[in-house]
Structure 1
Amino acid sequence: MKIIECPRDAMQGIKEFIPTEKKIAYLNTLLQVGFDTLDFGSFVSPKAIPQMSDTAEVLANLELEKTDTKLLAIIANVRGADDAALHKQIDYLGFPLSVSETFQQRNTNKSIAEAMEQLAQIQDICHKHGKTLVTYISMGFGNPYNDPWDAETVIRFVEELHKLKVKIISLSDTIGVSNPENITYLFESLIPVFKDIEFGAHLHTTPTTWQEKVEAAYNAGCRRFDGAMRGYGGCPMAKDELVGNMATENLVAYFEKIGLNLNLNKAAFNAALAESNAVFS
């Protein structure tokens, strides 16, 4: 089981700038917990996401010698990939590819076709610099723009990513519209067919529906889950209101309840959970 902690996703929608020193302290606490990966920052335009403008400075001050947790940075174009790839501390580059044409334009200022072209170039950059590309299929369970969506469309996108030899794909419920039925259908349709791809679940959710979503994804074979402490955050490019992230403490509680050993440092986990209030309030 892999739990991906996503403070970047939690922070990016906050308008008031979080001091760099506060980010560094919080991320260093998270690095002690034992998560598989930390989605810590992004190399994108500071005009688009000003909260992440200090990502390089934050990265330079992370205490990576004390952790086995890997680092993931989000990028939105080739330039961002070039910048991120220069940092040897980063293991994964994450790119949001949307099945919604409207959201692809809003999120990365390019069409789906242009995004696919850039994704091929980003994959080359990853190979050149020893990084692994993580592709998020944004609006993977529907969208609010009346753009066409069905499960077969998502499967076709996966087929195209498979041709590019993408090894990690995270199905993203960007606005919290997934349900147990479409979660089950997608993961059960994809995981047995694309055995060389690791599929993840990035499920934004309301506090009342989180468990049924996690349960459906897990029972359908998913073993990679994204979360954020206390469910903070959401995608600021998606709609006028944010739908929060999957709360990490809920993920941990559920998986421990069904008997999984997550090998987490509980003291560090509780410290990070407490510190999250100071960071986001």
Structure 2
Amino acid sequence: MIKLIECPRDAMQGIPGFIDTAIKAAYINQLLEVGFDTIDFGSFVSPKAIPQMRDTAEVLELLDLHDAKSKLLAIVANVRGAEDALQFQEIDFLGFPLSVSETFQQRNTNASIEEALKTVEAIQNLCEAKGKKQVVYLSMGFGNPYGDPYSPELVAEFVEKLSQLQVELISLSDTIGVATPDLITKLFEVQIQAFPQIEFGAHLHSRIESIPEKVLAGLKGGCKRFDGALKGFGGCPMAKDELVGNMATEVMIETLEKEGYSLGLNKSELAESMKLTKFVFNS
């Protein structure tokens, strides 16, 4: 079964003008009608770092989760953020960005990789105590622009460390859109075979024309969990000045359905969500 994770948080976080709380909530409520597996809806991080997400708790209070099929995921960058997020029973997953690149780990969370791994362990313990799950995003998982060491073997070392911490969900993340189809297939194939107890996802950034080949490459490697954002909005504001957008969800859906996958989505609600992006993002 294919799992689609819709990421309005990632789509919104780099927008310079503040999006009104009520507008954010209305958009996420509309997305909840579509039937995505999970909605990455917000983050509990420093408002100085990501000012767009400073109202995540308020947005959550405005969500209509009655009969919602989708689970909720919130990003955190430290233990304090995890503790804040875990106060809300409605949140199912906490996402933490662990980078393969030392430079990006410092830029993104103001911590070293060694310190970040300790944070992962602490968050994992908190999640287990609360009956929640942690999703670790391996940022710069397909290469980095800083000249830091990178290899598929290095990724495997990180996965091994996360496996020892009992992390069960890892999303391989192409933060700057450099992944090639061959590398995507290879990484997923090797990791999935080596760590069958872990569910691997793909959080890729891409130019629109490259999305189908990247989805197919992930499928070939055994990936069944894909992150995206409608119309490809978003990108990591901590990565580079020129943002490479998220995988456009509608393109992923078209690609997957052409491959014969039934995604169980409400297409009329999806169309309404697509219309709403023009209002939310002023596109």
TM-score normalised to structure 2 length: 0.98
Q: Does 1:178 align with 2:179?
A: yes
Deviation digits for residues 225-277 of structure 1, max 9, x if unmatched? 00000000000000111110000001110111111110000111000011011
How many correspondences in the alignment? Answer: 281
| Identity in percent | 61
1: CA distance, partners of 2:203 / 2:33: 22
Per-residue deviation, 1:50: 0.3
1: CA distance, partners of 2:145 / 2:268: 40
Structure-to-structure mapping, 1:1-281, within 5 angstroms: 1-281=2-282
Identify the range of structure 1 (254-263 vs 36-45) with the bigger mean alpha-carbon deviation.
254-263
Which secondary structure state, in structure 2, belongs to the residue aligned with residue 261 of structure 1?
coil
Which secondary structure state, in structure 2, belongs to the residue aligned with residue 191 of structure 1?
helix
**Contact residue 96 and residue 135 of structure 1 kept, 8 A:** yes
2: CA distance, partners of 1:34 / 1:140: 28
Per-residue deviation, 1:2: 0.1
Corresponding letter in the other structure for 1:246:
M
1: CA distance, partners of 2:281 / 2:166: 37
Which secondary structure state, in structure 1, belongs to the residue aligned with residue 66 of structure 2?
helix
Which secondary structure state, in structure 1, belongs to the residue aligned with residue 36 of structure 2?
coil
Which secondary structure state, in structure 2, belongs to the residue aligned with residue 263 of structure 1?
coil
**Contact residue 32 and residue 66 of structure 1 kept, 8 A:** no
2: CA distance, partners of 1:270 / 1:49: 29
Please list every run of 5 or more consecutive structure 1 residues that lacks an aligned counterpart in the other structure.
none
Corresponding letter in the other structure for 2:128:
H
2: CA distance, partners of 1:233 / 1:45: 19
Which secondary structure state, in structure 2, belongs to the residue aligned with residue 67 of structure 1?
coil
Please list every run of 5 or more consecutive structure 2 residues that lacks an aligned counterpart in the other structure.
none
Per-residue deviation, 1:211: 1.2
2: CA distance, partners of 1:58 / 1:104: 28
2: CA distance, partners of 1:195 / 1:138: 21
**Aligned-residue RMSD, C-alpha:** 0.6
**Contact residue 98 and residue 139 of structure 1 kept, 8 A:** yes
1: CA distance, partners of 2:258 / 2:278: 25
Per-residue deviation, 1:22: 0.5
Give runs of ≥4 in structure 1 deviating > 4 Å: none
Deviation digits for residues 111-166 of structure 1, max 9, x if unmatched? 00000011100001101111100000000000011111111000100000000010
Identify the range of structure 1 (7-16 vs 204-213) with the bigger mean alpha-carbon deviation.
204-213
